[in-house]
Chain A
Amino acid sequence: DTAVSQTPKYLVTQMGNDKSIKCEQNLGHDTMYWYKQDSKKFLKIMFSYNNKELIINETVPNRFSPKSPDKAHLNLHINSLELGDSAVYFCASSHKAGNQPQHFGDGTRLSIL
């Protein structure tokens, strides 16, 4: 039944490692997003994809690379993890039409040791 699902929910890893977070939605949406929520709860958009095409690409280090194999999936790969990458990462999806709300996954808490 889960509409937007992210895996894993928790990720603890060492500085310098490479990791991926997966996201899948079964709502039939054509637009997907990645957000970062920092320790002060501030939410900031990182990327958005529409039908596998990159639409929004905020000022994010190029160590972060989104991949959309199809419109139901948007994965986030992070290279050479740094301490400052510790945060909660949320995946979201919506219909392309601008008046539609975004539906969020439960978030992935990434902790860098």
Chain B
Amino acid sequence: AQTVTQSQPEMSVQEAETVTLSCTYDTSESNYYLFWYKQPPSRQMILVIRQEAYKQQNATENRFSVNFQKAAKSFSLKISDSQLGDTAMYFCAFMKPDNDMRFGAGTRLTVKP
């Protein structure tokens, strides 16, 4: 079974600074997909970024980028130039090709003005 671990229950960052959220996973699969989802207080689940395991290049979406280390089974999220609207729960997710997706426990990020 796949497990996803987010070791930081809570983090905070000053506005305009950079923060990195950690995620590790355990799997015996060779082909899989990784995602970061954001859940603001409004409760919506919003896709932030995704990474295919077969791609060596780290994914980037504007201020959000990942550091994907396949051998270490690590998938961290870096948020640059943090904004107040980035305050949310962030979930790391692992998905097998059959669409079976498993989430980590989440990291609550607070951006301080």
Contact = CB atoms under 8 A, between A and B. Distances in A.
A55 B99 CA distance: 9
21 contacts: A33-B99, A40-B105, A41-B39, A41-B89, A42-B103, A43-B91, A44-B103, A45-B102, A48-B99, A50-B99, A56-B99, A56-B100, A94-B99, A96-B99, A98-B33, A98-B95, A99-B33, A102-B99, A103-B47, A107-B43, A107-B44
Given A48-B100, A56-B100, A99 B44 contact: no
Interface string B91-105: 100011111111101
- A33, A96, A98: which has the most chain B beta carbons within 10 Å? A98
Interface of A: 31, 33, 40-45, 48, 50, 55-56, 88, 90, 92, 94, 96, 98-104, 106-107, 109
Interface string B63-99: 0000000000000000000000000010100011111
B47 A101 contact: yes
- B45, B102, B106: which has the most chain A beta carbons within 10 Å? B45
Interface of B: 31, 33, 35, 37, 39, 42-45, 47, 50, 52, 89, 91, 95-103, 105-106
